[in-house]
Amino acid sequence: MYPPRSEKNKHEKKQRQQRQNKVWMIINLMLIVAVCLVGLYVYYNSDNNAASDLGQPQAESSNAAGGSEAPSAESSASSAGTASEDSQQAAPSAAGSEADAPAASLQQGGAGNAAAASADGTANASAGAEGNQSGSQGDAASASPEDAGGSLVLHFGGDTLFSGKVADKLGTEGYDFPFQYVSSLFQQDDLTVLNLETPVTDGGVGAADKQYVFKSSPKALEAMAAAGVDAVNLANNHTLDQGEEGLLDTLDHLKSAGIASVGAGSDDDQAYAPYYVEKKGIKIALFGFSRVLPKSDWAAGAGHPGIASVYDPSRAYAAVKAARQKADVVIVVTHWGKERVQQYDDTQQSLAHGLIDAGADLVIGGHPHVLQGLEQYKGKWIAYSTGNFIFTRSSAAKTWETALFEVRCTKTGSCSMKLVPYDAELAQPVPMDAAAGAKLLQEIQSLSPGVTVDKAGNAAAAANP
């Protein structure tokens, strides 16, 4: 009954063959599944990276819009006891003529300092490369490519006060109200500088023969520091509105609040001294100078509190030249020009060029209450007027237009320039809507010979003179 032996062998052989085939099939299937799994893993991972790369700029650009991240409301401080003169709330009007009062200037153009001016006469490369990213890159935290190269993000805003109608507004809205749309930028950048166009004091005596006399409560400074403002310029035509006592109080209150100040001091040495600060291994020197003083005795002197004047710029040039040897980036904030005039003038230009010849990498001007043009000289940016920032609202519509000046600087002192348009509402800069912002940027370009300003606000020099 049994099959013959040869038959049996044949049958066993066939079964063995079938078993082997099955094993091979299983191995192959497993290999295919493994390859698929590896492929899926690689694909999923790379996709994930791409997504997170995208995520960063998106998050950042929402910062630029600035809306959402208003600082938490600090319980509103009581409205400041500002002087009665402040009820002249309208923005300082054509006090321009008084401005040029202090005379005696040795009109010396940046004498023989050209050697100190950096060697790079080339347009800075950073402008274009970094241009498209709006707002403040969360540079403190994230190590984006340009941070790896070690560039600093700096913000400059225009005239700031907490007096008159601004004080009234802050009395109801709280002292952090002015910074609602800018604090997220200021807190993340490396340096924020405003022009403080007012004494900050509870005392002082209002200047007698002056059309607009300002006085701001020290309570405003805590919110300003919390909002990320690091330094203020005091070289302007209001710092002594409450006399020398008002200036000395201002210096004290700023110091207590942890805000650095430049451009004024208890004597000339302090007034002309730069504020040195180092960020990410890059050393900055910041100066403040004014060519707008209501009276000549507002200028600081030996043992005489006051302001760093540049009616005669020789001392300022010498100070800048000295700082050039110690700092990587030398920045000068200047107060100059004619109020409500949008075109910068020859006096501003020769002073700006003199400062750059002396070694400045960046010149940021103010006082006209309107924006003025930009210029690049020897590869260095000059912003002639930053306009109003935290201010009262006059009837002149041009004074309502302003910008935040966003600057990136490298350790070699090469800086880019970008304008972010804002509306200077009463006591609060508010991001400008896109259409109005585009129009404003075009207007700035038309005021800036040899300079282009793109839709994102990035300035570039057509060619260097």
For Zn ion, give the closer residue by CB, 338 or 367: 367
On the 0-12 / 13-18 / 19+ scale of CB atoms within 10 A, 92 is: buried
Distance CA 298, CA 309 (A): 9
- Using the structure block, give the residue that is written with the tokens 């899926």: 40
For residue 236, the minimal CB distance to Zn ion (Å) is 5
For residue 420, the minimal CB distance to Zn ion (Å) is 22
Contacts of 443 (CB under 8 A, 6+ apart): 371
For Zn ion, give the closer residue by CB, 135 or 288: 288
Q: Is the dihedral of CA 100, 102, 103, 106 positive or negative?
A: negative
Largest CA-CA distance found in the chain, in angstroms, rounded:
136
Do residues 427 and 173 lie in contact, with contact meaning Cβ atoms separated by under 8 Å?
A: yes
Q: How far is CA 400 from the centre of its chain?
A: 19
Distance CA 240, CA 411 (A): 36
Distance CA 197, CA 391 (A): 9
For residue 443, the minimal CB distance to Zn ion (Å) is 22
For residue 377, the minimal CB distance to Zn ion (Å) is 23
Q: DSSP strand E in 291-435: where? A: 306-307, 329-335, 362-366, 374-377, 380-383, 388-390, 401-409, 415-425, 428-431
For residue 453, the minimal CB distance to Zn ion (Å) is 25
For Zn ion, give the closer residue by CB, 95 or 277: 95
φ/ψ (deg, to 5) at 293: -130, 130
For residue 399, the minimal CB distance to Zn ion (Å) is 12
Distances, alpha carbon 332 to alpha carbons 177, 195, 321, 324, 365, in Å? 28, 12, 12, 12, 8
For Zn ion, give the closer residue by CB, 133 or 237: 237
Given the rule CB under 5 A, which residues bind Zn ion? Answer: 236-237, 367
φ/ψ (deg, to 5) at 113: -100, 5
For residue 339, the minimal CB distance to Zn ion (Å) is 7
For Zn ion, give the closer residue by CB, 217 or 237: 237
Distance CA 56, CA 79 (A): 40
For residue 284, the minimal CB distance to Zn ion (Å) is 24
For Zn ion, give the closer residue by CB, 159 or 328: 159
The three-state secondary structure class of 10 is: helix
For Zn ion, give the closer residue by CB, 127 or 352: 352
The residue whose Cβ lies closest to Zn ion is 367
Instruction: State the DSSP code for 275.
Output: E
For Zn ion, give the closer residue by CB, 390 or 459: 390
Q: How far is CA 165 from the centre of its chain?
A: 26
For residue 369, the minimal CB distance to Zn ion (Å) is 8
